[in-house]
Structure 1
Amino acid sequence: MKIGNKIRKLRELRNFTQEYMAAQLNLSQTAYCKIEKDETKVSIVRLEQIAKILSISVKEILSFDEQSFFGNMSPHPNTGHGIPHSVIPEEKKLYESRIHQLKEENKHLRDLILYLQKGS
């Protein structure tokens, strides 16, 4: 996997947008996008900046392997969804919290749709 793709996958795991990353790096979204598409070379300084934003090390970016990360998953006892074994407890709590927030948002939107349908 190329470095840009690794950065993209890791960014997505953090639920960060390209716009957010670009702003943190003082780049345009287009310039940042070129990093993820491997259309521009990433200096070690830039890689260190990206690693800091993602709260990981440069080594973790370089060694990231999607297959080993997601291939080593066990089902969550309550949801049955897979959680990588390599996720630290704090990250696991963040993931579970985000999942809960999204479920609540989905419920609210479903309720809103039903309300609007009844009004029609």
Structure 2
Amino acid sequence: MSGEINENIKSIRELKNYTQEYMAFRLGITQAGYSKMERNGSRISFEKLEEIAVIFEMDLKRIINFGSTLNFKSALQNPPHALTVSGLLNAEYLYRDKIRLLEKLLDITDRELKTYKDKFGCL
């Protein structure tokens, strides 16, 4: 089971676009140590799992069960029915922060565009 947790952590980290360096920094360990942890080369303490859950903004149960709720290989091989309802909820949860960021960037871009249009009298 611990190997599955390591794989789940890696998958979630990649979905969130977090680097190993970022995770290592947040956990107070070296990048090599974090990499070893992801590769199942070292056992993850419960305390580290709790810290990872905080970084991911997910509860521990969701991290532990992540691989069973969303199987990316299956989803790629058998679209669109391979995603379960809980898998879709996991994907939504992971991308919610990215959607908010993109909406903010779009709003900033729209305001800047309006400013330039007003300033230079463009269409």
Q: TM-score, normalised by structure 1?
A: 0.62
Aligned to 2:14: 12
Mapped to 1, the partners of 2:83 and 2:50 lie a distance apart of 27
Alignment partner of 1:53 out of 50, 55, 77 = 55
Tell me which amino acid in the other structure corresponds to 1:44. F
Structure 1: state its 5+ residue gaps: 74-83, 102-120
Paired residue total: 90
Distance 1:89 1:4, change over 3 A: closer
Distance 1:26 1:90, change over 3 A: closer
* Larger CA Rg, structure 1 vs 2: 2
Structure 2: state its 5+ residue gaps: 76-81, 107-123
Higher percent of residues as helix: 2
Distance 1:13 1:52, change over 3 A: same
Aligned to 1:67: 71
Alignment RMSD, CA only?
3.1
Report 1 or 2 for greater relative contact order, CA contacts < 8 Å, sequence distance ≥ 6. Answer: 2
Tell me which amino acid in the other structure corresponds to 2:95. E
Aligned to 1:117: none
Mapped to 2, the partners of 1:85 and 1:94 lie a distance apart of 15
1:76-112 CA-partner distances (Å, limit 9, x unpaired) = xxxxxxxx631447834625839x99xxxxxxxxxxx
SS of residue matched to 1:2: helix
Q: Percent identity?
A: 29
Alignment partner of 1:94 out of 86, 93, 98 = 98
Mapped to 1, the partners of 2:88 and 2:28 lie a distance apart of 34
Aligned to 1:35: 37
SS of residue matched to 1:53: helix
